[in-house]
Chain A
Amino acid sequence: MRHSTIPERRERPVDPMPKSPHPLEEGGGPRRPETGSPDKDSLMKRMRKVDPKQAERYRQRTGE
């Protein structure tokens, strides 16, 4: 699967999630995604800034 362009949203936002009882009652439900043009260039620019050797240097101890 190859994608050369950022996919356009062709669907409506999902129906609101069931709202949580207090304390999230006021802010419950999903935020409607913005459907305007995505700033692809800024994301590609951010990706180009990633050090190609970042993963090579990244070492962790085994966790759970």
Chain B
Amino acid sequence: MRLFGIETEYGITRDDVAEMDPVVESMDWCAHTWPLSFERRWDYASEDPHEDARGFRVSGLQQDREEDEFAKVDAHRPFSFHEMKSDLVLPNGARFYNDHTHPEYSTPECRMIADLLAQDRAGERIVLRAAQRRNRTLGGTHVRLYKNNTDFHGHSYGCHDNYLVPRAIPFSTLVAGLVPFLVSRQLIAGAGKVGTEAQESGHVPGRYQLSQRADFMEAELGVDTMHNRPILNTRDEPHADRAKYRRLHLIIGDANMCEYATALKVGTTQLVLDLIERGAAPDVELEQPVVAVKQLSRDPDLKAVARLKNGWTLSALEIQERYYEAASQRLSGSDEESDWLLKEWGETLRLLAHDRLRLVGKLDWVTKQWLIETFMQEEHLGWDDPWLASLDLEYHNVNPEQGLYLGLEADGKAWRMTTDQMIEEAIQNGPSDTRGGLRGLCVQRFPDQIKLIQWERVKFVGGLRSRALEMGDLFDPHDVRRCASIFQQASSPADALRAWNHRKESRQ
């Protein structure tokens, strides 16, 4: 069973005001995304970030105190909680809202990498169009949006990748199999960064590194996401039937501009999860994962090694090769997508070792490094020049008239794996084979009759009886399509639910 999705928090700024109010700006942005009111009915009842996958519940998060301080300030604003969150569910089943003053786009759940890429790019277009509408209101191109992970002053914001995982896999087994892979995954999925920084400690200009987020990793495991960030997040919010599933919530990843990098980031992680489920993950135990993730990131020559518990040392490339070889042995021939991923994963590792320039337009850190070093040579700049951090930032600008990556893409030098047609379709509809598409269909067909909506449930208004479409275990693509067909044809949610429940009962 494969199901994955990406949450991206965007950075926002305005150049026409001395000091931007991030709460108001994020709200305005969301309001310009989908100027309708019915979708602002997100059901927060199922969200509890204090549940820990290691089997306990934490009493508080490190961010709670800071959040309380912000809440005190925000309480004086003339807005309700729901207005400030501006929580929308879009007709493609995506969630778009204001998360800690960052507009966040969460893709609908996807089963295929091609769908995920289209949905991720759809998010870029949706936030860009909101910015364009906002700029028309402001009377100039004042608002900028960045798909990155740092403000170069020690403040990071995330791009999380999520995977549905059987709960039958012990969490400790997931940890053992995943941590070395995640520590070295930046080799493929790093977005690249000029200089170094740490949580709220400012930016030190200097040499280039592979990852935006590695500097902010402070723990191997943990439930926190805003402070003391872990390599492997232990938040236990399955957004599905808790008895059967976990949601693996990874916060270590960078936001990628390159479609190819996004495909490999999520695709290889899914392959490693498949390996773990088969008990076939390679036996690699890092001595100090948190130290290693920074060491490996800060060496773009890929010579740095991480020390293992058995005393050996391995480079990021060697760790990745071990995972790749295990996956090749066990997963070749599983399905067409796995074979494609294995082929590209192996080729990427080979090119990283021997011919890295051929990865320009495929991997972000390689692409950005090449752009910046070319510019440095043309302008006779050193690594300590502050201009480089600005170039780094503008690489991630989602405005095609300004963004450096999108300029490269417009020049035909980035490897496209989507088409504009696919992206436009993804803006309109979610995947037809997942509950994400079904959620979007509910928004399209019965917008005025939705009472509450969230990942695993849509509650409809009407009557004393609760009328809800339960999707906590609705993952079989055939079942999803059958349910969608019913909702597509029904004249009301009540009729659709009656028909769907009848169909389920008749199969039992």
Which A residues fall within an 8 A CB radius of B?
Answer: 1-7, 9-11, 13-15, 17-24, 26-31, 33-36, 38-40, 42-44, 46-48, 50-64
Contacts and interface: CB of A to CB of B under 8 A. Distances in A.
A60 B358 CA distance: 34
A4 B376 CA distance: 10
9 tightest A-B CB contacts, nearest first: A63-B157, A34-B412, A55-B389, A31-B416, A54-B390, A52-B387, A18-B336, A7-B357, A60-B151
Given A11-B358, A23-B425, A42-B407, A58 B393 contact: yes
A4 B377 contact: yes
Interface stretch (B107-115, B173-181, B462-470): B107-115
A64 B375 contact: no
A52 B157 contact: no
A47 B156 CA distance: 24
Given A9-B358, A61-B101, A64-B99, A2 B377 contact: yes
Contacts of B393: 54-55, 58
A45 B115 CA distance: 34
B386 interface: yes
Nearest to B101: A61
A63 B9 contact: yes
A1 B11 contact: no
B478 to A, nearest CB: 11
Nearest to B477: A21
A57 to B, nearest CB: 8
Contacts of B429: 23
B301 interface: yes
A50 B112 contact: no
Contacts of A22: 432-433
Contacts of B408: 43
B200 interface: yes
A58 B151 contact: yes
A46 B407 contact: yes
Contacts of A36: 412
B297 to A, nearest CB: 16
Given A58-B13, A59-B151, A61-B100, A31 B419 contact: yes
B413 interface: yes
Given A11-B358, A14-B344, A30-B415, A56 B100 contact: no
Contact of B360 (A7, A34, A56): A7
Contacts of B320: none
Contacts of A18: 112-114, 335-337, 340
Contacts of A44: 374-375, 378
B373 A3 contact: yes
Given A1-B356, A50-B391, A63-B9, 10 more contacts: A20-B115, A20-B118, A34-B412, A34-B413, A36-B412, A52-B385, A54-B394, A59-B155, A60-B13, A62-B199
**What bracket does the count of chain B residues touching chain A fall in?**
35 or more
Nearest to A39: B411
B263 A17 contact: yes
A62 B152 contact: no
Contacts of A9: 358
Contact of A63 (B112, B158, B390, B412): B158
A51 B158 CA distance: 25
A60 to B, nearest CB: 4
Contact of A33 (B12, B101, B391, B416): B416
21 contacts: A3-B370, A7-B360, A7-B370, A20-B431, A22-B433, A23-B429, A24-B425, A26-B421, A30-B417, A31-B418, A34-B412, A50-B391, A55-B389, A55-B390, A55-B393, A58-B146, A59-B13, A60-B102, A61-B100, A62-B63, A63-B156
Contacts of B414: 33
B22 interface: yes
A61 B200 CA distance: 10
A20 B199 CA distance: 40
B129 interface: no
A48 B414 CA distance: 21
Contacts of B373: 1-3
Given A14-B415, A43-B371, A62 B200 contact: yes
Contacts of B260: 14
Nearest to A46: B407
